[in-house]
Structure 1
Amino acid sequence: MNTKQRKVMLALTLSYTVLILYFIFFAFGRADTLALDIGYTFLWVPDGFFRVPGLSDLLHPTLMDAVSLGNIAAFIPFGILIPLLYRTGFIRFMILFILSILVVETIQALTLLGSFDINDVIQNSSGAAIGFGAYRIGFRTNKLWTNIAAAGISALVLFMGIWGSFGIADKVFTKELAPFVAINDLQSSSEGSPPQGIRQDSFQISGQTVEPQLNVYSAEDKTTVTYTYSLGKREMYFILNYGIPDQVEPRGSLRVSADGQEYLSVSAEDQSEELGTSSIYLQEAKELTITLDGNMKMWDVGIREMKYAWN
């Protein structure tokens, strides 16, 4: 690379750096946050940096989709331009680049123009590493522009590879909601009688016809009944519908607890809605306890467990 070409590359690098710094500190309405008392935000624990938008997401892209891809793609040119201007090895380049991004993220947090996010550091560094790999692959001749074109194609191929790898890693390390499972399918040791069968008689609540599809729980002919289920320390959402039928006296209560901690308590006197629905998040709970009193009913009660794709 001759002196003139080097000056062009240096000018291009400086211009691109200024552009990236503008987006980091001032784009997306960041300056408006100065008027808000949000305090300093430092996110030190990696979380979700694998979550880049998939191909289906790009059919209806959002701003966050663009940011996720941009956090990687926007830093690829640094991996090409920096080693092109200054001879350096991969390890040295990555150490200096990561230190620079750490400084930028810290300034962003301290100036209240954003937050320090370790996820951004990882994604930005991934982009720079892609660029450096593209530089090593593409720059093999004495023709500058031919090398740049080869490096660009290599960067695109490597980027697609990283994108696909992140997508796979996201599936592997991210939990998703499993299909709904009726609560009566779980192991139980209940004082009351479990619901009988799947088909249940319909009833009216607040003038609406309720037709249970899975199960119905009630105190029946007892004053109070308690149902207890073993959860096996799983992460899940406990989902239930509840209310007091129109045809009976409006009295009764419902309590849901797990491992001694109460998550839901509803009575006929303080119930704001005569027909209620609730979804309760339970993390590694061992035992679920449901207590029904009076004429309160529950129906279509079950769980949706949080599972990894490989479970």
Structure 2
Amino acid sequence: MFKQHKIIFSAAILYTVLILYFILFGFGRIHHVENTSGYTFLLLPDGFFELPSPSDLLHPTLMDLVTIGNIAAFIPFGIAVPLLYRIKFTRFIVWFILSIFLIETVQALTYLGSFDVNDVIQNSFGAIIGFGTYRLGIHAKNGWRRIAAMGFSAIVLLLGVWGICGGIDRVFTKVQGPFTALNELGDSAGNPVKETKPYRFTVGGQDIEPQFNVYSAEGKEKAVYTYKLNKKEFYFYLQYGIPDQSDFKGNISVSVDGQQILFNSEKYQAHAPAIFKWYFEQVNELTITVEGNEKVWDIGYRGMKYFWN
């Protein structure tokens, strides 16, 4: 028993040293120190429930691997510590979180990384899975059965945390709602906007067939469309271009609450349709100005909402 305890203790020490090396010095952290000018403390959790989906793992990105690694790499600590010392879960997780806080602080103060509370949470998930693995597998009768039981328990608990996190992420993450065409709203005076019915035309040799609306100067030098939106948190969309078989002359301007967010004239436009997309936290008044032969189409927005709204 003493020999087994010694082997586990030695393996735990070596694994801890390896983890500390990757946390403090791995991934070229030393080379980034010279380019760091200040401390970075990320104290608010953001997206720590956004674990990669099974489909994401078919073509994983670096961040997918980092997220999974932040959890999986700390599972062994939840197994090794209670194997070495009799310790209750509450005491274990408190000491573990304090240790991760200390390591994250050292990272930030030495410019070897940042203090990221997301890492603290994800690392703690791993330790919790490990402790649960220990409790479920320790009652097996012999060594090989115990190893198999712990391995199976680790996989089940990891999948369970994965599923729970995915559910929580879905509940608390806003998604884009259905598209609302701008012409469905009244203008600033509450009157319906006329002459925005979609029709086909060609821009840069491409056949354009708008689905919702078309805005233009309609033979005048300039047309101004103003809307009182009073909307919060949405994505705004439009497409624009100067049609073929017309003088390549015109421009578009979009202003929000008196601040211009888009201006493009024939001087800067290519002979091809362009797409404009912008995220707004809040908009009271939206103004679109179209001059010359410019065409603007499929103008609208998608409000951000929770799936249960």
| TM-score, normalised relative to structure 1 | 0.87
**CA contact 2:236–2:302 (8 Å) conserved in 1:** yes
Residue 261 (structure 2) aligns with? 263
Residue 175 (structure 1) aligns with? 174
**Stretch of structure 1 that moved more, 31-40 or 63-72:** 31-40
Residue 240 (structure 1) aligns with? 238
Alpha carbons of 1:254 and 1:7: their partners in 2 closer, same or farther (altered >3 Å)? Answer: same
Which amino acid is 1:197 matched to? K
What is the RMSD computed on CA atoms of the aligned residues? 2.6
Counterparts of residues 118-137 of structure 1 (less than 5 Å): 118-137=117-136
Alpha carbons of 1:87 and 1:196: their partners in 2 closer, same or farther (altered >3 Å)? Answer: same
Q: 1:92 is paired with a residue of what secondary structure?
A: helix
**CA contact 2:238–2:300 (8 Å) conserved in 1:** yes
2:308, 2:230 → 1: CA distance? 19
Whether 1:273 aligns to 2:270 is: yes
Residue 8 (structure 1) aligns with? 7
**Stretch of structure 1 that moved more, 249-258 or 44-53:** 249-258
Counterparts of residues 133-282 of structure 1 (less than 5 Å): 133-140=132-139, 143=142, 146-189=145-188, 193-198=193-198, 200-203=199-202, 205=203, 209-249=207-247, 251-268=249-266, 270-275=267-272, 276-282=274-280
Q: 1:285 is paired with a residue of what secondary structure?
A: strand
> CA offset at residue 159 of structure 1?
1.1
Alpha carbons of 1:67 and 1:84: their partners in 2 closer, same or farther (altered >3 Å)? Answer: same
- Aligned sequence identity (%): 54
> CA offset at residue 217 of structure 1?
0.3
Out of 290, 306, 311, the position equivalent to 2:304 is: 306
1:192, 1:61 → 2: CA distance? 48
**CA contact 1:214–1:299 (8 Å) conserved in 2:** yes
Residue 23 (structure 1) aligns with? 22
Count of residue pairs brought into register by the alignment? 307
1:142, 1:213 → 2: CA distance? 68
Q: 1:237 is paired with a residue of what secondary structure?
A: strand
Counterparts of residues 93-112 of structure 1 (less than 5 Å): 93-112=92-111
Alpha carbons of 1:124 and 1:195: their partners in 2 closer, same or farther (altered >3 Å)? Answer: farther
Residue 51 (structure 1) aligns with? 50
Gaps of at least 5 residues in structure 2 are none
